[in-house]
Chain A
């Protein structure tokens, strides 16, 4: 199975900050990497697929990059509604696997 490792597990930031979350795959997955946002008590929401393609309706302050084993999610200017937990997921091979999550908290 492909292991997905996210870092950091949590980050404290202020509104307007730039936030970067990293995700590493235990083996190469080309660009088959997806990012989700999850708020407490809610289902996850798709943000980015194919490592860098923004899902329809997702604000442009979100961006993704990377290929192979190393990927990043960047929020260019953190907004109040962005405080949430973010998960990466590899879409290369079954079983599909997620990173452990990164909680973005208010500083």
Chain B
């Protein structure tokens, strides 16, 4: 069974940093691209970042480019999102999601999400 479990969320002050993790199991992690998607309270979905299986291709939304860094450790079946210079508008539930093996660029499995609140 595919499982994705996020951790690392919490309350953080504006301008500070936070690192999210996503533990993957139930599939060959290194064979799949992975994404971070976020959802502000009461709002819609926003794609944040993508990394392919070898970390050779990485993409970011303009809203986080230069502030967030996606990475992965295939030996530990783990995905990360290093978030710096956090702003109030980064407050959201952050989901890690698996890229589909068939047509790509969408998400067939999601974690339960971890809430990041940026506030003083």
Contact = CB atoms under 8 A, between A and B. Distances in A.
The judgment on whether A and B are partners is: yes
A92 B104 CA distance: 9
A89 B100 CA distance: 14
Nearest to A33: B106
A46 B47 contact: no
Contacts of B45: 36, 38, 44, 87, 89, 98, 101
| Contact residues on B (Cβ < 8 Å of other chain), bracket | 20 to 34
B108 A95 contact: no
| Contact residues on A (Cβ < 8 Å of other chain), bracket | 20 to 34
A101 B44 contact: yes
Interface string B32-61: 000100000000111100100000000111
A27 B60 CA distance: 20
A23 interface: no
Interface string B83-120: 00000000000010100101111111011110000000
Given A87-B44, A94-B50, A98-B45, A46 B105 contact: no
Contacts of A46: 100, 106-108
Contacts of A96: 35, 47, 50, 105-106
A95 B103 contact: no
Interface string A36-51: 1010000111100110
Contacts of A36: 45, 107
B62 interface: yes
Given A91-B105, A98-B47, 18 more contacts: A34-B106, A36-B107, A43-B110, A43-B112, A45-B110, A46-B107, A49-B103, A50-B103, A55-B108, A91-B104, A94-B50, A95-B61, A96-B50, A96-B106, A98-B44, A99-B44, A101-B44, A101-B45
